[in-house]
Structure 1
Amino acid sequence: MSPKCERCDGPLVPVEYGMPVDDTPYRRHERREIYYTGGCMGPPAPWWCWSCERFADPEPRPSPSMTVEGYQLSLLNDIRGVSPSLPELPAPYDDPPEALAEEAAAWKTPDLLKIKDMAVILGEPVNGGPSRHRFALPLWPDFWLEHTSMGTGLWVEPESTEMLVGGYVVDKRFVRRSGEPMRSADDMRPWSVLRTEAEAFFGWEPTRTPNAYYHIVPFELDGRPMEACFVHDLLVHVSEASEA
């Protein structure tokens, strides 16, 4: 059931990629009326009110039933989408029960993308700066998962200068928490090396897209052509490169 607008008590429509999911009312307006009066395309607020023509961000938002295990499985599902050949996973991730699989899917919804919501489930983050927040996850004890956040840019009232700071997650990557960086090529094992560490060790040219979701990097090891797959900057798979 969708939440209600705090201003007019009307139903709110989910927002994806800055636009309301249901665009039927949108087609009844001149395009610029929505763009300039309502603000589409807009900030990463999770809801839109067609009656008020504004973005909305009702509270409370986090689900108390979410768990660390559900979030970790969601991450693994993300990684599997890029690199199906993952290391053997511990239970319950090797064959997750239906409830955990459903919970992992729920982490994809727009109402669970705020730093403060994640802190309810994952514990208070370690701040690496005003917009970077690091969480410790049991599956990766040597690394923090660092989330970059931003405000909503959402005005409380049209005539107000007060802004609702949302802390929405816009990016994430692994950063080293403990342990040693690469010391030899034998360290190129899944879950053990960061992309930046491999770049420094092998002398790879730094990527031109450091904020990309994943990187597949060709390299040579003992004269053999290889490929390394990094997701959120963490090595998840190494294989011999296929011949063209």
Structure 2
Amino acid sequence: MSSVETIRPAPAAPRQGRGAGPWAAAAIACFGLSVVTALVLHVTQAAAVDPVRQVISDYALSAGAGGFAVCVLTLAAGTGFLLAGLARAGLPVTRPVVALAGCWGAGLTLCAFFPTIPTGAPMTLSAEVHRYAGLVLFVSLPAAAGLLARGAVNHPVHHGLAARLQRSTDWAWAALTVFLLSQLPVLLAPAHAFDGPLFQGLAERLVLVVYLVLLGEPALAVLRSGRKSC
């Protein structure tokens, strides 16, 4: 007795990246607003903040305090949007990646609400919170990017992103090392004032440029892949 086998078509594989594009676009918009705000602060507060000697947090001590808050809070918001886009694109957004990215965002938020003090001035509670929040955020982002890069190596669409992200992560650690070294003259000064040559402001701006690449590369990759899948 023969039987007729019914051949059923295999279910279609889910389209990767569905729904990720809008999240990536929102992240890019936030990052762009942060950069524009920083540039406006650089121009409008040039007389109050020396970009070579003084760090970006010093804008909070000038008439640009509101702009500084917008600059860092939009970075934090954009990171949240980016995580959502990466997850929807099928990238390995693991718990450690989320935790480290959360530390980056929390550090930025604390820095917005707890201002620093002028270089060499006596420490305050707000300045202590700002200092440790800054240390956490500077370490957290490249650590998160490194984990994401290692997890994305075998991704069918974003394996190229993994290599680019790993290179940018290496540059981020190198830039962060330069920035930390630039802080030594102030930290090791015998008095609460230092009048020697400083380049910590320039070093910090270099770090943040590299960090923007760390954030922008995956956002653009997800946005492009989402358009191709449409």
TM-score band, normalised by the shorter chain?
under 0.3
| Larger relative contact order (Cα-Cα within 8 Å, sequence gap ≥ 6) | 2
Give the structure with the larger strand fraction: 1
Q: TM-score with structure 1 length normalisation?
A: 0.24
